[in-house]
Structure 1
Amino acid sequence: MSAPTAAGPLALGPAVMFTPADRPERFAKALDRADAVILDLEDAVTPASRPAARDAVRAAWEGRATGGTDGGPLAADRVVVRVNPAGTPDHAADLAMLAETGWRTLMLAKAESAAQVDGLVAALGEDVRVVALCETAAGILAAPALAAHPHVGALMWGAEDLVASMGGTSSRTADGAYRPVVRHARATVLLAAAAHGTAAWDAVFLDLQDHAGLAAEAEDAVALGCAATVCLHPAQAPVVREAYAPSEEAVARARRVLAAAEGAHGAFELDGTMVDEVVLAQARLTLGRVPAGD
């Protein structure tokens, strides 16, 4: 039996959005558009700009007490801070800055071992929640161990860094489909998350203009049980939300199935199809994705 996470799966989505940590004027705007925001100290920031980015993340925490700057205070329960990979000088500097703040929901870039998560907890305390970003070959293979860690609340995967770590140059074929090894990596992360009761966050969609392609991938993600799809631009957030929300037909069907199950003993037939406990569970999950107020 796998160990439970510290506080269950980290489900902040469905639309979680990266924003560069050196652009504090965007923080509040990003949080207004998305369900949660990732203040990115890694890839979205040049190495020369990372000291300023750390200053901005520190100031964003201080702004919560003073009324906020650059758009207002941020809700701590909707903010994730992506730190640089373990073992790098920037990682150590990130943790030193975070120790001066209360930000404790972190995304670990290029996560590759449970011991790296232990390092975050040792540096910042037992209240740390971690999104382990599996984006290297070693990270994909470590996904089960990462998902089992009691402080890991979500797993995310990344295609481009993964392919680069393998010496490759492209994650997709000419028709836009992921290459087989990338699909395998995604499946590995999703299975590891599900096996250990950890939320699965799907990878970013790089083509900012292709909303249809994003919608198709987000629909596939939610069909497989993902809790979120991570966005790169505010315009992607409503596309992801719509994809994660069940259709009116699916909601009506789920309600009909659950209503028919009242008083039933065991499996039964409805509209020519068999309904058993698995179908009932899927119906409950469908209704659980209905946006609040609908």
Structure 2
Amino acid sequence: MSGAPGIPGPSLLFCPGDRPDRYAKAAARADAVIIDLEDSVAPDAKDAARRMFSEAWSELDPERTIVRVNPFGGPWWEGDVQAVRDLGVRLVMLPKAEQVEAVRALAPARVVALCESAAGVLAAPAIAAEPGCAALTWGGEDLMADLGGASSRRSTGGLHDVVAHARSSVLLAAAAHGKPAVDTVYLDISDTDGLAAEAREAAETGFAAKMCIHPGHADPIREAFRPPEEEVRWARGVLKAAGENPSGVFRYEGRMIDAPLLGQARAILRRAGE
């Protein structure tokens, strides 16, 4: 299943860049693997991780591999950019995305921009407008660190208002520029019910995919993004009826159907792979 045109999905699994022994396993569990050269690699292992990734690149599927480089302007930025360019990496995740210049610097790779700071969330519309931007995503924990907060979630598990606002802002910015949005990770590895509920909400509100940090999260994300059969049946019926009602507005199963509901029906079928 594809998350959206040009973006694999719906489950995107992170894999530490310095663990090439896990690359294939991660790719087998999820719809795409994110080779992480940033947060999951210690500073003194960055150069080695880049070398390991480069040596393993020929064994990876370029259509199902995203490489998260280190932040723009940092000590490992130039080396990471040169490596992904030399290898011909097609999809690169840009952490701490705040400047359009960073997106442009990664060309010809297409960029999944990770907006995870106050400046990044506010810059999301400008970043999404860049031709080299393939998608937007966001990160709650880095955002809270940037804000000086203590946690992205309430004790009940729900997102704090400012974090939910950032999530919505990134989704809206992506949609306004015709780009897909990817939801962030769910950190409680054992809480698959909470993961499934959050993934369902992400799918229903328009996210194209969701990232994860544990192989056991890949299947629940896939299942959550797959619309229920009853929704698929309704969407098929609505679009069939639309073809038989050229007036543009009609009644179907007791509901008035117009252009917005036809758009929702098409979205349901896209999620179902139809």
TM-score band, normalised by shorter chain: over 0.9
2:256 aligned residue (274, 277, 287): 274
1:290 alignment partner in structure 2: 272
1:208 alignment partner in structure 2: 189
1:68 alignment partner in structure 2: none
Task: Tell me which amino acid in the other structure corresponds to 1:154.
Answer: A
Distance 2:241 2:81 in 1: 54
With the length of structure 2 as denominator, give the TM-score of the two structures. 0.95
Q: Any gaps of 5 or more consecutive residues in structure 1? A: 1-7, 65-72, 122-126
The answer to whether the 8 Å contact 2:63/2:90 transfers is no
1:132 alignment partner in structure 2: 113
1:95 and 2:113 are equivalent in the alignment? no
Alignment: residue pair count: 270
Distance 2:156 2:164 in 1: 15
1:39 and 2:35 are equivalent in the alignment? yes
1:238 and 2:233 are equivalent in the alignment? no
Matches within 5 A, 1:27-106: 27-61=23-57, 64=58, 73-106=59-92
Q: CA deviation at 1:262?
A: 2.5
Q: CA deviation at 1:291?
A: 4.2
Deviation track 1:178-208 (CA, whole Å, cap 9, x = no partner) reads 1010011011100000000111000000001
Please give the secondary structure, in 1, of the residue aligned with 2:68.
strand
The answer to whether the 8 Å contact 1:9/1:197 transfers is no
Could you say which structure has the greater relative contact order, defined with CA pairs below 8 angstroms and 6 or more residues apart?
1
With the length of structure 1 as denominator, give the TM-score of the two structures. 0.89
Task: Tell me which amino acid in the other structure corresponds to 1:19.
Answer: C
Task: Tell me which amino acid in the other structure corresponds to 2:221.
Answer: V
Structure 1 residues 98 and 259: alpha-carbon distance in aligned structure 2, compared to 1, 3 A threshold: closer
Distance 1:32 1:291 in 2: 20
2:151 alignment partner in structure 1: 170
Distance 1:84 1:137 in 2: 18
Return 255-264 or 160-169, whichever deviates more: 255-264
Structure 1 residues 181 and 257: alpha-carbon distance in aligned structure 2, compared to 1, 3 A threshold: same
Distance 1:198 1:258 in 2: 24
1:152 alignment partner in structure 2: 133
Please give the secondary structure, in 2, of the residue aligned with 1:142.
helix
The answer to whether the 8 Å contact 1:76/1:103 transfers is yes
1:24 alignment partner in structure 2: 20
Determine what percentage of the aligned residue pairs are the same residue.
51
Return 95-104 or 46-55, whichever deviates more: 95-104
The answer to whether the 8 Å contact 1:134/1:140 transfers is yes
2:243 aligned residue (262, 272, 279): 262
Matches within 5 A, 1:214-253: 214-253=195-234
Q: Any gaps of 5 or more consecutive residues in structure 2? A: none
